[in-house]
A and B are shown apart, each in its own frame.
Chain A
Amino acid sequence: MIPVRCFTCGKVIADVWEEYKARTEQGEDPKTVLDELGVRRYCCRRMLLTHAELINEIVPYL
């Protein structure tokens, strides 16, 4: 699960994660998507850029 807020500055970033994911999977440049979603600072940008969604991989072992 994407963290609710940016670790560094505390801005809420979880609300844009799904749109970011959908749009980058469509082949859009992450840079333009982040700019359009209003994620300006590099601390918040890395939260989305580097996030790995692992929850589905944990499920078989629950």
Chain B
Amino acid sequence: MTDLPEAAQAPAPGARMPWVVSEHRGGLWAAVALLLTGVFFAWQSTPLDFGKIGLPGPGFFPFVLGIVLVAFAVVIIVEAVRSEHSEGTVAFGHRDVLIAFAAMLAVPVLFEPLGSYLTLGLFSVALLVFVGRVNPIRAAAASAVGMVAVWYFFKVLLGLQLPNGPF
């Protein structure tokens, strides 16, 4: 061994995440979202045939599960309300996460109209430049090489037909 292993210190949590919510409030939001999901499934299953209690139809299972989901969400909300004074926080809004997620959202929009290789190439450049802070020319070159590799591996080797777009 030449030197002792060590992990460098990370920046303080939340230093790059501007939106900080209390665990209590965030937990409530999450539980309310789950409650609404349960209500949605229970509500949308009402037009379906329920059958009988002994011979359930297609609407029975989702309705019961929707109600159970609502019940669990209520329990979590009660727990969250009880822990109102907890000091824990959850941080959001990390720049890299937002950029990566925005870039991912663009992919399904462009994938078929623009073609897979161009879309994924642009996606790769965006991630390398804005998340990786890589020089744009270097990022473009790396992405171009990457797309050739993608084409060779997926199309030539695996025979996968990916959308070519207008080109």
The answer to whether A and B come from one shared complex is no
